[in-house]
Chain A
């Protein structure tokens, strides 16, 4: 049985910053930015990061299966929130996957996602790669203009696949087009990167792969070269003999280039449109190159993520406020007011006791009376029951619900005031007072439908920690009623 891709998912933050807003604010310093000021880029809300986007993309992928639990979970990024706390394990617990899963972070390269995928497919073939990126760039830089935030997930296996893994190769080369030794990237001249990097390294490995697979370049239907250089994919395709029509758009005008997540995001986009028999060539560039070749099978149309790339692209909210982008990315020091000064320490032993609630969003269901509740406490909450230790874990992360009460609080500290929160009643039982995220003014009422999302609750800059919890959101796309 052949190995290959069994599913995919994507996430793009709904905030889309108009590039002209960046250009207008910064052209006084660098007039050339105006030339890049077209379209928009995705931007994380203040409460989104690599882990929360990863949860969304993985959830998007897993929703296309009926209870799939990949035995391996590779998490790829160059912007993990934690340098030493396995980010993939937070991801795993938020996804409520079995603890026996092999979870692993892969980082330090733009091809962290493609290398993970290659490692999986050259091994057992069974698992999931989640790639997520939230790069910070200096204000007014080319990176700020051209990059975006996003995540993607690809599930692989040996069963019925939607795209068969035809072959893959990897080439190592310490070609330093850019690096990040400190807070921000430092890069070299684009023309040199193109001529000495893309146009030499990629053809070398792709030609080797294609000849090993007995495939002609002209037969490639989808060619993925993740890059923020608009003309590079065309130049490489031409050199290789790949048809110009096969180039998968880097979505620079709508999302921006999402670093280590970009290859998998484009792969997910290609899988959405691929037809049976079509060949997909995926490359990942960075201190060498990965190249993976897939062939869409007859089953290609059978897998549908919850939202996919097209759905994520469509769920957008235009952002024109560059100052907010700077604040969300911690690029300016904002006055928080005195209420923002409170200590936000997480007591890790206390967190450990509540991980099932805080990360996995598990409540309880009483075996005696059937009452669904959250949080799960020792005694059942039903006034007619109050049984002791009677509740089985009950997941809420996949539940929809409705707003019972709400407010927009302008007194309390919030990184993006007003703070919206309120009581949520879940379909199937249970209710909880919780934060709402990304509410449009006038966009919430009692009875509004909600879904729940894993988000950053608080940052503790003093200790380099951040708290996560689930928040309710009124989805941009309609949520079916209970």
Chain B
């Protein structure tokens, strides 16, 4: 019987670039920015890294294929570097590779880095791209907001929520994240917004308006992981360890089988159950201190609260409007500003979210520091509600 990943691997150091419209920075520049901070935090030399995982989501639009762009940018020492891509879960996938490598005993110290340079396309939003030779013949030409807007219509139909109530809760999600992001010097969008602004903004994909969408940014984040024993031997205390690392990938049930009605994310529910089992969490709403969830769109965050069992089914609208996930609420969500304010450089996001929970657990989150957090959850969702990849990782004190 597998024992799971809990407490087998510790985070030795992390780094995160400034996110934003980084007209000044190439992907390599962003990688170096995150890597330099990470190395300093870990207190090691680059030569101590034995293996690396490199995440880039839409590489054709910036670095190109393979692991070489990272090996070259960071001048890694001819070590094994693996390129990973799993849509918006890419950053967490890189982390999973490095953590599993250490846990297996194949290496002592491993690096995970994610990067995305989205602002070289010449237009707003994610790059327009092929879905594959056969899918392009019959898939709707859907944008990301178009895909996730359907979660709102599915949720409304399932729970008989009226349009205005759901839209108001969606607006609250974004207002809360903007308030958090305003306090974060590394965030892209650092301006508070009002509920009315969010409600009145033009539709991008009905009912998703401008402020229901996360930003589109450039950025990079990375982590160096090792065993708790080695971390201690390097003089680290207050270790932050990996508690759970789960991934659930759609197998076509949601898109083609009647058992799914479009109102929730099946993968998130499955990955959450597995992650809680792996981490030994029995009452997630009580035991988890903070969450960084995949708020690509406000509706995604709202529905995810239910899928993670942090709100009762059909009760997220009320929970959100009651401020349960605000900075002062009982379970703060996106305390760093989330994808909403950081934007979503695809390959980097998962690691950026882990970075925030890591800072919080170490008491280094500055103006947005929460009181005595113990366990942080990170959630990524790649793809579309009807066909996606969900990664859930949890980190906490040893």
Is the CB–CB distance between B150 and A383 below 8 Å? no
* Chain B residues in 8 Å Cβ range of A409: 142-143, 145-146, 149, 204-205
Decide: A423 and B252 in contact? CB cutoff 8 A.
no
What 14 additional pairs, Cβ within 8 angstroms, besides A425-B258, A447-B157? A339-B125, A350-B133, A377-B252, A404-B261, A409-B145, A410-B203, A411-B145, A412-B143, A413-B128, A421-B141, A422-B153, A433-B139, A446-B153, A446-B154
CA A445 – CA B150 in complex, angstroms? 11
List of A residues within 8 angstroms of B385 by Cβ: 405
Q: Which of A12-56 contact B (CB under 8 A)?
A: none
A147 to chain B, nearest CB (A): 31
Is A194 an interface residue, CB under 8 A from the partner? no
Q: At the interface, yes or no: A338 with Cβ under 8 Å from chain B?
A: yes
Closest to B132 in A: A350
How far does the alpha carbon of A374 sit from the alpha carbon of B252 in the complex, in Å?
Answer: 10
Nearest CB to that of B386 among chain A residues?
A433
Q: Is the contact region of chain B dominated by helix, strand, or loop, or is it mixed?
A: loop
A375 to B129, CA, bound (A): 22
**CB pair A431 B150 closer than 8 Å:** no
What residues of B have a CB within 8 angstroms of the CB of A381 in the complex?
A: 252-253, 256-257
Chain A residues contacting B125 (CB-CB under 8 Å) are 339, 411
A374 surroundings in chain B (CB, below 8 A):
256
Contact among B134, B137, B141, B154 with A412 in the assembled complex (CB-CB below 8 Å): B141
B262 within 8 A of A: yes
Tell me if A93 is interfacial: C-beta within 8 Å of chain B. no
Tell me which of B137, B151, B202, B257 contacts A373 (CB under 8 A).
Answer: B257
Chain B residues positioned under 8 Å from A343 (CB to CB): 130
Q: Given contacts A337-B123, A405-B153, A422-B150, are A413 and B141 in contact (CB under 8 A)?
A: yes
Chain A: interface residue count, which band? 35 or more
Query: Which residues of chain A have C-beta atoms less than 8 A from B157's C-beta?
Result: 404-405, 446-447
Stretch at the interface among A134-142, A153-161, A244-252, A352-360: A352-360
A411 touching B146 by the CB < 8 A rule?
yes
Determine if B255 is an interface residue (Cβ-Cβ < 8 Å): yes
B residues apposed to A, CB below 8 Å: 121-123, 125, 128-130, 133-134, 136-143, 145-146, 149-151, 153-154, 156-157, 202-206, 208, 252-253, 255-259, 261-262, 385-386
Task: Provide a sorted-by-A list of 19 A–B residue pairs whose CB atoms are within 8 angstroms.
Answer: A338-B128, A344-B136, A357-B138, A358-B138, A381-B252, A383-B257, A405-B150, A407-B149, A409-B143, A410-B205, A411-B125, A411-B143, A411-B205, A412-B128, A419-B142, A421-B146, A431-B257, A445-B153, A446-B157
CB pair A419–B146 under 8 Å, yes or no, is yes
Most chain B CB neighbours (cut-off 10 Å) among A344, A411, A447? A411
Cross-interface CB contact of A421 among B121, B142, B255, cutoff 8 Å: B142
Q: A381-B256, A405-B153 are in contact. Are A410 and B137 (CB under 8 A)?
A: no
Does the CB pair A412–B142 fall under 8 Å? yes
Q: Residue A275 at the B interface, CB < 8 A? A: no
Q: Is the CB of B128 within 8 A of A342?
A: yes
> Given the complex of chains A and B, what is the CA–CA distance between A418 and B121 in angstroms?
22
> What's the Cα separation between A358 and B361 when bound, in Å?
52
Query: Beyond A374-B256, A405-B262, is A342–B205 a contact (Cβ under 8 Å)?
Result: no
CA distance A29 to B338 in the complex (A): 58
CA distance in complex: A346, B129 (Å): 14
The answer to whether A405 touches B154, judged by C-beta atoms less than 8 angstroms apart, is yes
Q: Given known contacts A347-B133, A381-B252, A422-B150, is B140 in contact with A435 (CB within 8 Å)? A: yes
Let me know if B137 and A354 touch, CB within 8 A: yes
Point out the residues of chain A lying under 8 angstroms from B262, CB to CB: 404-405, 423
Instruction: Write out the residue numbers on chain A whose beta carbons fall within 8 Å of the beta carbon of B151.
Output: 405
A240 at the interface (CB under 8 A from B): no
Shortest B206–chain A CB gap in Å is: 4
Report yes or no: B140 in contact with A434, Cβ–Cβ below 8 A.
yes
Indicate if A382 sits at the interface (CB-CB under 8 A): yes
| B residues in contact with A375, CB < 8 Å | 138, 256
On whether the beta carbons of A338 and B121 are closer than 8 Å, the reply is yes
- Note all chain B residues with C-beta closer than 8 A to A351: 137
Q: Which of B146, B253, B261 contacts A407 (CB 8 A)?
A: B146
- Which listed residue, A407, A432, A433, A467, touches B206 by the CB 8 Å rule? A407
Are A418 and B145 interface neighbours, CB within 8 A? no
Does A165 sit within 8 A of B, measured CB to CB?
no
Q: Does A414 interact with chain B (Cβ within 8 Å)?
A: yes
